[in-house]
Amino acid sequence: MDKSIVKICKDQKTEVLPVGISDIHLEGFFAPYIERNRRISIPYLYRLFEKYGTIDNFRIAAGVKKGEITRRLATDSDLYKWIEAVSWDLQNYPNPEMFKLLDGLIKLIAKSQEPEGYLDTYYIGKYKRQRFLVLENSHELYCGGHLIQAAIAHYRSTGKTNLLDVAIKWSDYIFKKFEKKQIQKNDGHPEVEMALVELFRTTDEKKYLELAGILMEKPYYYLGNKKFLEIKEITGHAVRMMYLLCGATDYCIETGDKVYLQVIKRLYEDLHWKYYITGGIGSRYSGEAFGERFELPNFRAYCETCASIALMMWLYRMFLIQQNPEYFDLLETVLYNSFLAAVSLDGKKYFYVNPLASAGNHIRKEWYGTTCCPPNFQRFVASLPGYFIVAGKNKVWINLYDSFHANIKLVSGNIVSIRAETEYPWKGLVKISIKQSGKEKITVYLRIPGWSEKTKIIFEGKAHFPEKSSYFALDISKDAFFEIHFDTKAQFNWCNPAVESNRNCVAITRGPLVYCLEGCDNDFDIFNFFLTQQKLKERLNDSLNGIVSLNGYGFVNKNIHRLYFSGFPCYNFKKVIFEAIPYFTWANRQPSSMTIWLNGYER
């Protein structure tokens, strides 16, 4: 993110480029998330790193402390992601104490690095002889990738090169190993590919881009043991597949390789049949993997938090290649549902998996043996402002909505100031004012979400009614003001009957939000509940940080007294009143059953 791809626009490899995190300040729905991330989640996770030995691993590797490191694979990457989160956050919220803490950690990391450049605290001492022997499981390049990303974020936020120097030294060491063919295999967990492309963008050293290409020409063990260009469908470990697609898309942007683009687009089309209504991906517990098309079980949905983050990262990159509104339609779905559900409302506990139905046995935890999700969540929240707007030479795309103010310097030198006021996603009205320093015409593209059935835009006294899932273009040559009225009424949704778990079921959405029933709100068995077509009532609910809950009626079948029955279904219904809450707020009270998909019943 940030100003990482400015050179792309100048080289005319893509029409758009990212807007800096520090150029956009979110003030509405997401402002409390950013605040909680900075004040609670980030400091709290650091204390857990101290408690569970993550920092001590580096102290032991650096020789400043004696003892045994914790044998949790890829633990180094957790600290690197945390440093990245802090670095992005510091762009908008400078904090002298955090700057000081980062300096101390970077000194420790640098001291842990061996003279030739190797750095991974897991493979020290007697484990040193195992380096690069089992790359399909070792996560050595994966950890290095997160080191690079942390270093670039820190460099862009502080101007300091102390961590970037460490990352460059490591990358040069790895490049030499591959150049001399001392490493023959590939890391089983893609990640370093996109980091290397970003390092190329940062340093202009082409060897890093070359190394990314070399890696993608080697088979990936957990993705069907195929090279990237041989992959014909979205398959294997969900996070690994998404990270690889991020790297491949970055590589495609930089090289203009049309074969890569064909494969990327083919895999995106395949994704259309393999994601949940929440935007979650990865339907199998076995291998944390994608299943076949339509294989989307609800109770056993894996939907790892890291997979949701990686999917959003990929969708953003896809938009840089082609300004298609459906990329941000899906990104928004993931953001408000599968992603936000991963963290508790107090910012201290996390889900690793995010099912669409639960018998009440799912609870968030403060710590996992594999701690990839919490720091990943934190770095994405810290970088979130940069996802709202992208810009071209004289063009601006507004892709996500919240109250915000932004100051964007276009390639032409024109500074565009944008202020948005809204109660989105709870209400559909968005007021936007635009001022610019120059006098040339600019075009502002407004994403019209696919869920808004009737959108009205009022500009210069005229009403416009754009199609859903499109971009509405406004040509502006002076200061401007306009209003967008999105249709946020609750809707019922049904699923392709090929999805066995959702056959004859409906789900409720309102705006970008997916709703669920939680047992603690409803005094009946939510899995024996039948919903019928109706107009739902909305209610402001202060119990979960001021959400809008939905109320309506349905029916419970009283004929459920054994497992199997002869004949056609015979229902003895009792009418009940239900309450539905946004999926991202579930499991924040007591352990409780939950479901998104409800039995549909047409009277």
CA distance 600 to 603: 10
pLDDT of residue 543: 84
**Position 2 confidence tier, pLDDT thresholds 50, 70, 90:** very low
Instruction: Report the C-alpha gap between 33 and 89 in whole angstroms.
Output: 12
- Three-state DSSP string of 527-547: HHEEECCCCCEEEEEHHHCCE
What are 517-526's pLDDT values in tens digits? 999 999 999 9
C-alpha to C-alpha distance for 47 and 13, rounded to whole angstroms: 43
Task: Spell out the residues 6+ positions from residue 98 whose beta carbon is closer than 8 angstroms to its own.
Answer: 86, 89, 90
**Per-residue pLDDT reduced to its tens digit, 5-59:** 333 333 435 678 899 999 999 999 999 999 999 999 999 999 999 999 999 999 9
The residues, any chain, with a CB within 8 Å of residue 109's CB and separated by 6 or more, are 58, 119, 147, 163, 166
Alpha-carbon span 366 to 346, nearest angstrom: 11
Query: In the prediction, which pLDDT does 14 show?
Result: 62
Residue whose entry in the numeric block shows the structure tokens 């999105």: 486
Residue holding tokens 């002869």? 566
**Between helices 238-255 and 206-216, what is the axis angle to 10°?**
130
Closest alpha carbon to 311 in 377, 243, 398: 243
Residue in 42, 118, 51 with CA at minimum distance from that of residue 84: 42
Cα 526-545-365 angle, rounded to 5 deg: 70
Is residue 77 within 8 A of residue 146, CB to CB? The reply is yes
Please name the residue that has the structure tokens 């950013």: 34
What CA–CA distances, in Å, run from 86 to 59, 93, 102?
A: 20, 10, 8
pLDDT, one tens digit per residue, over 141-190 is 999 999 999 999 999 999 999 999 999 999 999 999 999 999 989 999 99
Each residue of 526-565: pLDDT tens digit? 999 999 999 999 999 888 989 999 999 999 999 888 899 8
**Domains of the chain (ranges plus CATH)?**
6-274 (1.50.10), 391-485 (2.60.40.1180), 490-600 (no CATH)
Q: How far apart are the first and last CA of the chain?
A: 51
Q: What is the pTM of this model?
A: 0.96
Question: Residue 571 has what pLDDT?
Answer: 87
Which residues are CB-neighbours of 36 under 8 A, at least 6 positions away?
A: 346, 347
pLDDT digits (tens, 9 = 90+) for 357-381: 999 999 999 999 999 999 999 999 9
**Alpha carbon distances (Å) from 599 to 64, 519, 520, 580, 588:** 61, 16, 19, 14, 25
